[in-house]
């Protein structure tokens, strides 16, 4: 869950491009991909967490996965031999038996659910919603230019990615750790601080 006090989705094309370039570089190379630290506050151990730091990356990752799977599914429907269980990927990355894997801030949740989880179109009503749909279109357009072999390598690299999560209990420790960790990504505005 991305808590209400977190900022809405803020990444733009520069961050999407860097994210994609990192993935391609790692997929074409021999190195493991490292996604970075994710700071979580434990709500229900093993079931429910609030994302304190890493929400822009996790949101981008889910948008990217939707785009990647869409491109691969279209190629599969057009006759390419792609050995992926798309229903299983839906359960892993987006929703399984009503359990939605990522819950954005409340005011973007319905839009995100429609556009990313359910993969349907709707009109954005805020700047963050516009960024979500622009990111999805950016990734789909960029990925369509790549070979299926590269797309499958990217998927494999992502599925083997190591994520370091730091689980904290309580808002005080979470807020302190967030201040210490939040030195990458898009800079917070004064209002967001």
d(CA 77, CA 124): 29
Tens-binned pLDDT, residue by residue, of the chain (193 aa): 998 888 899 999 999 999 999 999 988 887 777 777 888 888 888 888 999 888 999 999 999 999 999 999 999 999 999 999 999 999 999 999 989 999 999 999 999 999 999 999 999 999 999 999 999 999 999 999 999 999 999 999 999 887 777 777 766 566 666 666 555 555 655 544 4
d(CA 59, CA 56): 5
Q: What are phi and psi of 167, to 5 degrees?
A: -105, 120
Contacts of 33 (CB under 8 A, 6+ apart): 22, 23, 26, 27, 157, 158, 160, 161
d(CA 43, CA 146): 40
pLDDT computed for residue 193 by the predictor: 47
- Six-digit token string for 74: 């279209």
pLDDT computed for residue 189 by the predictor: 58
Q: How many CB atoms lie within 10 A of CB 111?
A: 21
Q: Tell me, what DSSP letter sits at residue 126?
A: S
- pTM of the complete model: 0.87
DSSP H helices, 36-193, are 55-77, 86-93, 106-112, 127-144, 148-159, 171-181
Report which of 36, 54, 39 is spatially closest to residue 166, judged by C-alpha positions.
39
d(CA 6, CA 9): 9
- Burial of residue 5 (number of CB atoms within 10 Å: 0-12, 13-18, 19+): exposed
Q: Are strands 99-100 and 162-168 parallel, antiparallel or unpaired?
A: unpaired
């Amino acid at each position: 869950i991305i808590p209400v006090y977190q900022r809405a989705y803020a990444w733009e094309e520069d961050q999407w491009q860097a994210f994609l370039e990192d993935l391609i570089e790692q997929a074409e190379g021999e190195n493991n991909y490292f996604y970075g630290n994710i700071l979580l506050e434990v709500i229900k151990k093993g079931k429910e967490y609030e994302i304190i730091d890493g929400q822009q990356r996790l949101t981008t990752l889910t948008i990217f996965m939707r785009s990647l799977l869409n491109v691969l599914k279209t190629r599969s429907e057009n006759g390419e031999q792609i050995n992926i269980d798309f229903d299983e990927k839906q359960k892993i990355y987006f929703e399984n038996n009503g359990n939605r894997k990522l819950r954005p801030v409340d005011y973007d949740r319905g839009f995100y659910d429609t556009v990313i989880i359910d993969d349907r179109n709707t009109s954005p009503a805020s700047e963050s919603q516009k960024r979500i749909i622009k990111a999805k279109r950016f990734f789909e357009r960029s990925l369509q230019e790549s070979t299926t072999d590269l797309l499958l390598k990217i998927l494999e690299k992502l599925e083997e990615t190591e994520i370091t999560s730091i689980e904290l209990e309580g808002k005080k420790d979470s807020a302190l750790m967030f201040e210490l960790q939040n030195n990458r990504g898009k800079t917070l505005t004064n209002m967001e601080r």
